[in-house]
Amino acid sequence: MALFIIFFLIIMLLFTLLFILRISKAISRFVAVFIDFLFVGGFTAYFLHDKVSMKIASGNAVYFWDIVFGIIVCILYYALLSFLVNKLPRVAACINYVIAWFGTFLIYILVFLIFNDGLPELLNNHSWSMFIHLLIVSLLAFVTFQIRKNIFDTE
């Protein structure tokens, strides 16, 4: 009976791990492109708010137009990246790595600010500690870059 319970627990653990892996894969695909879409759409809405949205609408409709402009620019951004992937794959790969690096850096910093009040000192020397943090971000960005390559079908 004890062997059956252990076997059952192992099977349940494997199913849980597979479920977590599937969810983490979906989350990583979402995060790989969400950060830059958030910034591109957000900056568009921010910069066009006073110049365009306030002139064509009033009240809460202004925010509707901010969202519409943000979505349009995100679609154009995705089309531009897809065009670069098809026509200039090496340029697109460089751009995607830079975007992946900045997105990973932002998430890395935010996680440590939320849970640790700043970056921890990994070594006794502050400069070397920052170098190690940048190295970690660069390695994590490579993983994000690989996910972005799969999303945009980069060779």
Above pLDDT 90, what percent of the chain? 3
How many domains does one find in the chain?
1
Q: Which amino acid is at 36?
A: D
pTM: 0.63
79-122 confidence digits (pLDDT tens): 888 888 888 888 888 888 888 888 888 888 888 888 887 787 88
Rounded (5°) CA angle 54-59-63: 65
Interatomic CA distance for residues 147 and 29, integer angstroms: 6
Torsion of Cα atoms, 122 then 36 then 45 then 47, to 10°: 70
Residue 68 belongs to a domain: yes
Q: What does DSSP assign to residue 53?
A: I
Residue 3 belongs to a domain = no
* Owning domain of residue 142: 31-152
- 48 lies in some domain: yes
Residue-wise pLDDT tens digits, 32-57: 677 778 888 888 888 888 888 888 88
